[in-house]
Structures are given as C-alpha cells and as structure tokens.
Amino acid sequence: MTPARIEELRDFYLRELTEDTIPFWITHGLDREHGGLLDFLDREGRPVSTDKGGWIQGRFTWVLSRLIEAYGTEARSEWREAAKSCADFVRDKVLAGPGGRAYFELTREGKPLVLRRYLFSETFAIIGLAQYAKASGDPGYLRKALETLEVFYSNRGKLAPKIDPLTRSLRGHSETMILINVHQELRDVLMQDDPVAAAGQTSRIDAQIEELFRYFVKPERRVLLETVNYDGSMAEGLEGTCVNPGHAIETAWFLMEEGRWRGDLALVERALPLLEWSLERGWDREQGGLFSFVDLEGRTPAQVEWDMKYWWPHCEATYACLLAWALTGQARWERWFETLHAYTWSRFPDPVHGEWFGYLRRDGSVANDYKGNHYKGAFHVPRFELYAGLLLDAIAARGRGFDALSGPDVLRRLAKGNP
C-alpha cells in the first residue's frame, strides 16, 4: 500500500465516520426527550418502533466515548451531549434490572420490556460506561461499570440455560470472546490510575484466551466452533458444526489487538489462522461477500438465512485484514483487505439516505432496508470506521510493522490531534 493510498483510506474512513455515520445516528436516533438512542429506524431514519434495544445504548455510549477520546480537543460538543445522554440512560434505565442486571429491550421512556437469560446486554453497558468515565472524567460511571462486571460474574453460568443441563451441557464461544473485549476495555480505562486493577484485567484476558483455544479452536479441522460440548468435544447435529465466520473473525482481531498491545507477536500469529480459516470457509466465491453461517462439513447450515450477507461480518473482516497486514506486512492480507473493502463499500452504504443497509440477499441486493433494529445499530459500522481510521493514521505517522504499531498507547489518539 502506497503512502498516498494509506492517507486516502484514512481520510475516507474518518470522513465516513464523522460526516455520515455519527451525524445520521445523532440526528435521527438521539432521543432528546427521554435520553438514549432510538435504534429501530427505517431507511430515512424515521423510527418504526420507539422501543429501545438494551445492547445499543451501551454500545453507542462506547462508540461516542472512543470518538471523543480520538479527537481530543477537536471532539464536537454534540458528541459529548449524545454520549452523556446514552450513558445516563444505560446507568438509570438499562441497568435497572433485578440485582443490577441489564434489560435487553425497554420502552422509549425506559420501562422494562425484555430481560434475557444471556448476559450480553450487561457487557455492552460495562464497556460503554467505562469508556464514558474516561471521556467525561467522571469516575462514577467507572464504578457503575465495575459493579456491573460483578453482576455479570455472579450470574455467569447460573441463569437457566435453554437446553436442559442434566441432559446436555454446552459451551458457547460468544461469552468467551466478549469477555476478552470487556477486559480489554476496562484495562484501557483503569490503566492510568490503577495499574494493579489493570493488571487484573490482563489476567482475566489470559483466562479467556486459554478457554478459547482449549475448547473452541480446532486446528486439525481448521475451524473456530461456535458451540461445543462442555468438555470441548463436538456437539450434536448442525449446532456442533455451525461456523459463524464474522464472529470468528471478530475474535481474531480482538486477539491481534491483544498481541499488539502486549508487544507479543506470537499472540498475533496465533490469531491469524482463525482469520484465514474463516475467510476460506466464509467467502462466497460465486457472488462475493461473507456468508452469515457455514457448516464445517460443507452441508447446508440449519439457519434458513445462512447465505444472506450481513453488514457486521464485513466490518469485522475488513478491519481484521487491515490489521493483519499492518502488523505482519504479508501481501495476502493487503489483497484480502482491498477485496473486502471494495465489496463492503460498494454494497452496504445507502447512497440516498446515508448510513448502511444491514441485510443483503446472497446476490447483494437489499433484503431489508432498515438502518437499525435491536441488533443493527450505531456500533459495528462506526467502530470499524474509527478503528480503521486510527490504524491508518498510526501507519501514516509511524510506519507499518509490528514494532511501529505495538504498545498500549499507539492507538489512543489521532496523530493530527496529538503531535
């Protein structure tokens, strides 16, 4: 990649982020009456439901807080106002569940609608509030994040699973992967004022990485599995052979970021096969794009929508390939990045009303033109744009390669804002 291409891409990603994605959500989604974000928006940005997803409140808080940090003194006041609105909605409404649990769905006013038997809403609240503590300088949000972490661990493994555990005990990859990210975010916030607590996060990341490779990664099958038996053996039926390429790729770049932060190239190299296998299995050689699900044995997956192209795996994969190229210099990752970048940006953005479509048919045509629902909201797209922009900016400033790009502080701010 030439320096000119790197700068062109950096400017492109940051412009898309700050001129399209963030303004779309703040203009159409921010609830100026009740706080938080209206996430169920149609193509033009009009709410088709005023119910609020619990996930996105924490996730958008996180996005805005990271954005504010990256832009430093150049951060816009509307980003700060929106971040406070979402953070307070998380603290006061989302986390008002029994025992401090997080609701998955709420009314516009914040009354509880759905409490799930999974703990993902909690994890997004944690990363949002923790980063907002840094963005706002108010440690009260960090305390609430850490309290919610305790809620997470005290409930983990204790909520009634869907499948009777006396008959069959399973492990899901999702909880392991999300914990890696949760502890990375907490460490990032704790690092400056509480090095002991920050080190504790690193230990917990180690435990999750160990779990990941022990149970879910099967090098002999070239796969990271979504669901395994409790002992790590293959689970029954199509659930046991289900591969979610986007999910595995997201885990791969969490690991690459961890290796980069630690200055541990070996960890980066453990992550690369997960990316490679997932692209091998997940890429649609006939029509381009990543399948949503594939089967380890090459059979049709159980999910009837398996061949649809979802927006988020394309965010994860494009960033993962950019990062792999930046850290290793291997030309194949640059080629994959350019392939993914071209597919993604030619298919998902809405040229008329801005932001992205989320759900394409196999052939790339738009199946559902909403800009948000309780899964797609202001998270994967802006995180991708911000992280790609920050990484490209770091490369432009420091050069490519593991040594130039590793260490805890490399990515914190855009170079231009922090000479």
Q: Tokens representing 77?
A: 């006041």
Q: Is residue 385 classed as helix, strand or coil in its secondary structure?
A: helix
- Specify the stretch interacting with its own copies by CB under 8 A; choose among 190-198, 217-225, 269-277, 369-377: 369-377
Question: Closest approach of Cβ 319 to its own copies, in Å?
Answer: 23
Pick 361 or 416: Cβ nearer its own copies: 361
Pick 43 or 416: Cβ nearer its own copies: 43
- Find how far residue 266's CA is from the centre of its chain: 23
Are β-strands 309-310 and 217-218 bridged in parallel, bridged antiparallel, or unpaired?
unpaired
Q: Tokens representing 356?
A: 């992205």
Question: Closest approach of Cβ 221 to its own copies, in Å?
Answer: 17
First to last CA, the chain: 24
Q: Quick check: 269 binds its own copies (CB under 8 A)? A: no
Question: Closest approach of Cβ 79 to its own copies, in Å?
Answer: 28
Residue selected from 1, 11, 34, 42 as contacting its own copies according to rule CB under 8 A: 42
Pick the closest to residue 54 from 136, 3, 126, 2 (CA basis). Answer: 126
- Segment 113-142, which members bind its own copies (CB under 8 A)? 113-115
Q: Tokens representing 92?
A: 């006061």
Q: Quick check: 44 binds its own copies (CB under 8 A)? A: no
Q: What is the DSSP letter of 363?
A: T
Q: Tokens representing 27?
A: 């203009």
Q: Kindly tell me the burial class for residue 161, based on how many C-beta atoms sit within 10 Å of its own C-beta (0-12, 13-18, 19 or more).
A: middle
Q: Quick check: 368 binds its own copies (CB under 8 A)? A: yes
Pick 109 or 210: Cβ nearer its own copies: 109
- Segment 196-235, which members bind its own copies (CB under 8 A)? none
Q: 230 with 161: CB under 8 angstroms?
A: no
- Specify the stretch interacting with its own copies by CB under 8 A; choose among 180-188, 214-222, 299-307, 325-333: 299-307
Pick 362 or 400: Cβ nearer its own copies: 362
Question: Closest approach of Cβ 311 to its own copies, in Å?
Answer: 11
Burial track 205-238 (b if 16+ CB lie within 10 A, e otherwise): beebbebbeebbbbeeeebbbbbbeeeeeebeeb
Question: Closest approach of Cβ 345 to its own copies, in Å?
Answer: 21
User: Apex CA 90: angle with CA 194 and CA 355, to 5°?
Assistant: 105
Pick 220 or 297: Cβ nearer its own copies: 297
- Segment 339-358, which members bind its own copies (CB under 8 A)? 358
Pick 115 or 267: Cβ nearer its own copies: 115
- Specify the stretch interacting with its own copies by CB under 8 A; choose among 41-49, 175-183, 394-402, 406-414: 41-49
> d(Cα 108, Cα 304) in Å, to the nearest integer?
32
Pick 120 or 402: Cβ nearer its own copies: 120
What is the size of the binding site for its own copies (CB under 8 A)?
41
Residue selected from 11, 12, 45, 49 as contacting its own copies according to rule CB under 8 A: 49
Q: Kindly tell me the burial class for residue 377, based on how many C-beta atoms sit within 10 Å of its own C-beta (0-12, 13-18, 19 or more).
A: buried
Residue selected from 51, 147, 264, 284 as contacting its own copies according to rule CB under 8 A: 51
> d(Cα 49, Cα 108) in Å, to the nearest integer?
9
Q: 105 with 114: CB under 8 angstroms?
A: yes
> d(Cα 128, Cα 122) in Å, to the nearest integer?
10
Pick 264 or 284: Cβ nearer its own copies: 284
Residues lying near its own copies in the complex (CB under 8 A) are found at 40, 42, 48-51, 105, 107, 111-115, 162-164, 166-168, 236-239, 299-302, 304-308, 358-359, 361-362, 367-370, 373
